[in-house]
Amino acid sequence: MHHHRPFRSYFLLSLIIASSFLFGACRKYSDGPNFSFIPREARIANNWQGESISRNTIQEVTLYETYSMNFLDNGVMLWTTKKVGEDLVERTGKWRLASADEEIELEFDAANSPTGETRLLFLEIRRLTSNNMWVNFFWENDEWEVQLN
């Protein structure tokens, strides 16, 4: 009976290696997670608070009293920002997953757009878990990297 143990060890090792390749291939975003049973829309639907806010690679989180992105499960989004010493800015729009679920498409109507016309903004998702969402986007010629918790 002891002569079967090496086979069992090799089988388990092979199973572990195969599983790591399988689940490694499930990584959707550059910064993870590797695998999740929770659908992407359910992970996005949250009231996210800015933890790290970089504009053109310069950290600006200390300039904000408030930075939140509230994605509702009905496709409505409320983006609230308030810089120190400035007025609160609230933008509402619609959101949906786009680009094979690698981006969030935000559509702001004319009343909530800085240009006074309907505007689309695409947030590239870098990380999406139940507790973290990291996004990159271009807004008014600036490149933003925002980590939300």
The model scores a pTM over 0.85: no
Q: What mean pLDDT value characterizes the chain?
A: 83
Q: Give mean pLDDT, residues 36-61.
A: 93
Which burial class, exposed, middle or buried, applies to 128 when counting CB atoms under 10 A from its CB (0-12, 13-18, 19+)?
A: buried
The pLDDT assigned to 22 comes to: 43
d(Cα 106, Cα 49) in Å, to the nearest integer?
Answer: 17
| pLDDT band, very low/low/confident/very high, at 63 (cuts 50, 70, 90) | very high
Q: Give mean pLDDT, residues 108-131.
A: 83
Q: Give mean pLDDT, residues 111-138.
A: 87
